[in-house]
């Protein structure tokens, strides 16, 4: 059975460059939609956060303005999140053993602005991603979850995902939500500076890239597509393993 580790932000705020605090956390759609699809596909999904703290929800992600599906979708998101005990008692990211990491077939990083505050600076997450990359495990991220890729480096100091085609929340989208000038860093710019072949589609429209064992999505509407691509990649790997046997 396929085992997937979902690493979620553990912070409920983002410190802006003027020193003000913006409430944030993980984005509901980016966690619920993939998690539900993974479970439907029969995956074992385990959640970890830095420090093992309860994963904080960005309440803005449950507002009508941010959910085109309306009250029915919002109600489903709330009920699904309430049912996830892992969110209340997640694994401690920093305490995952090498054996635990090796037991996973894939890792998934949902977004929200929270990852810019913690996952982007987590050496432990960077080590896990680099190890999984070396073992050709599937690595997936959506929206600001791609910030979690930043601390992953090889032993020689080079960025693990240098030259990979990938995407994430764009500078344009950050401008459109009115935060670009206040952000501690712009995700698209930072990924490009690290050596990513950053690509993007239209703002707020689904855009998914698969490059080798890396699957990334641009924004919340890409959550479904990233999950589908993740499931397809892992299913193909399982099928290939059976054929080789």
Residue 240 backbone phi and psi in degrees, to 5? -65, -40
Mean pLDDT confidence for 110-119:
98
Record the pTM: 0.96
Backbone angles phi, psi at 73, to 5 degrees: -70, -45
CATH classification of 3-244 is 3.40.50.880, yes or no? yes
On whether the CB atoms of residues 24 and 13 are closer than 8 A, the answer is yes
Residue 242 in this model has a pLDDT that exceeds 90: no
Strand 3-7 relative to strand 208-211: parallel, antiparallel, unpaired? unpaired
Predicted pLDDT at 233? 97
Domain segments of the chain as ranges: 3-244
C-beta separation of 160 from 133 below 8 A: yes
Average pLDDT taken over every residue of the chain: 96
**Model pLDDT for residues 153-190, shown as the tens digit of each residue:** 999 999 999 999 999 999 999 999 999 999 999 999 99
pLDDT at 204: 97
The beta-carbon contacts of 131-137 under 8 Å, at least 24 apart in sequence, are 131/98, 131/101, 131/102, 132/101, 132/104, 132/106, 132/107, 133/160, 133/161, 133/213, 135/102, 136/213, 137/104, 137/105, 137/106, 137/107, 137/213
Kindly give, in sequence order, each residue whose CB lies less than 8 Å from that of residue 1, ignoring residues fewer than 6 positions away. Answer: 42, 43, 44
207: left (phi over 0), alpha (psi -120 to 50) or beta: beta
Tell me: pLDDT of 245 over 60: no
Neighbours of 244 (CB within 10 A): 6
pLDDT in tens, 75-103: 999 999 999 999 999 999 999 999 999 99
């Amino acid at each position: 059975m396929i085992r997937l580790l979902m690493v979620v932000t553990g912070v409920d705020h983002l410190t802006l460059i003027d020193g003000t605090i913006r409430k944030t956390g993980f984005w509901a759609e980016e966690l619920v939609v993939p998690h539900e699809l993974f479970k439907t596909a029969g995956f074992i999904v385990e959640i970890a956060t830095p420090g093992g703290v309860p994963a904080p929800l960005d309440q803005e992600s449950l507002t009508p303005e941010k959910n085109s599906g309306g009250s029915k979708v919002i109600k489903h998101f709330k009920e699904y999140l309430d049912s996830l005990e892992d969110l209340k008692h997640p694994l401690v990211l920093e305490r995952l053993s090498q054996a635990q990491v090796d037991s996973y077939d894939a890792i998934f990083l949902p977004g929200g602005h929270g990852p810019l505050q913690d996952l982007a600076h987590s050496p432990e997450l960077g080590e896990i991603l680099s190890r999984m990359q070396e073992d050709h495990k599937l690595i997936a991220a959506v929206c600001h979850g791609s910030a979690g890729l930043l601390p992953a480096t090889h032993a020689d100091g080079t960025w693990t995902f240098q030259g990979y085609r990938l995407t994430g929340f764009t500078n344009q989208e950050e401008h459109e939500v009115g935060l670009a000038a206040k952000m501690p860093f712009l995700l698209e710019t930072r990924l490009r500076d690290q050596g990513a072949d950053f690509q993007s589609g239209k703002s707020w429209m689904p855009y998914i890239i698969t490059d080798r064992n890396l699957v990334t999505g641009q924004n919340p509407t890409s959550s479904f597509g990233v999950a589908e691509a993740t499931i397809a990649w892992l299913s193909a790997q399982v099928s290939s393993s059976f054929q080789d046997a």
